[in-house]
Amino acid sequence: MVNLRDGARRIRPDTLVTEEPLEIRLGGRPLTVTMRTPGDDFDLAAGFLVSEGVVRRTEEIVSIRYCAGATDDGSNTYNVLDVALAPGVALPDTSLQRNFYTTSSCGVCGKASLDAVRTVASWPVRDDPAALGPQLLTALPDRLRARQRVFDRTGGLHASGLFGLDGALRCVREDVGRHNAVDKVVGWALRSGRLPLSGSVLVVSGRASFELVQKAVMAGIPVLAAVSAPSSLAVDLAAESGLTLVGFLRGSSMNVYTGAHRLGLSEGRA
């Protein structure tokens, strides 16, 4: 790599974040391909299935395993895994109404309509009594950043952190895709029998998209905070679902778009 700084030119190595495809199969049938950072792949697959409404309890997944012979020469790239569901768990509809191809930037794309994305949540968050002070919330991005080990080496990863209402960090996951990082956290919770994630706060290192709000709602998380901006659809879904959505959480500043009552603030407009 050629590095230019203040007119000086240097040749030096650089550490890059790994991005590889992961194919997720259900009972041997291809379901989705996502571009991800290898690591915590089982959590990623489990979290994706929670987000899509396929599973909601630990026992609904019998096994997750890497597929041997994933390449022409029979070697294992660890880029294909198969999930076995428990008997009676309905398979998702993979008709032309859904396109399960995902990328590291946008998450699931090609939904047939907005209504198709509004998956019915197993654990409604509207009535979750979670409450926390704004001061505690402003401390969480720094606590998340302190645990981003791969970001320190590459500068190219998103992170998601799950916190308790006391500010304690329960789980952190990194990935080149912001939606993958959230799925890895949700999958960790599913596989350790912690769903629903009531009374918790999800902090993400990037922006808050519609899909991240959906993933939080599907996991029963009442508070989602992002260091960057939310989208208009994210705010709409958060308002419909009763989720507290915070954006631009930087330093002592934040914008509370929905669910301000959980921070002890009144809802209203200037």
Choosing from 67, 106, 109, 171, the catalytic residue is 106
Two structure tokens written together for 97: 């109404």
**Pair type for strands 20-26 and 80-85:** parallel
Number of C-alpha atoms within 13 angstroms, CB side, residue 254? 27
Contacts of range 189-195, beta carbons closer than 8 Å, 24 or more positions apart: 189/47, 189/162, 189/219, 190/46, 190/47, 190/50, 190/55, 190/57, 190/58, 190/61, 191/42, 191/43, 191/46, 191/58, 191/61, 192/58, 193/58, 195/50, 195/56, 195/57, 195/58, 195/123, 195/219, 195/220
Cα 195 to the center of its chain, rounded Å:
15
From 38, 42, 36, select the one nearest 64 (Cα to Cα).
Answer: 42
Q: Is 130 left (phi over 0), alpha (psi -120 to 50) or beta?
A: beta
Burial (CB < 10 A; 0-12, 13-18, 19+), residue 13, is: exposed
How far apart are the C-alpha atoms of 42 and 60, rounded to whole Å? Answer: 14
The answer to whether 171 is a known catalytic residue is no
User: Mind telling me the catalytic residues?
Assistant: 106
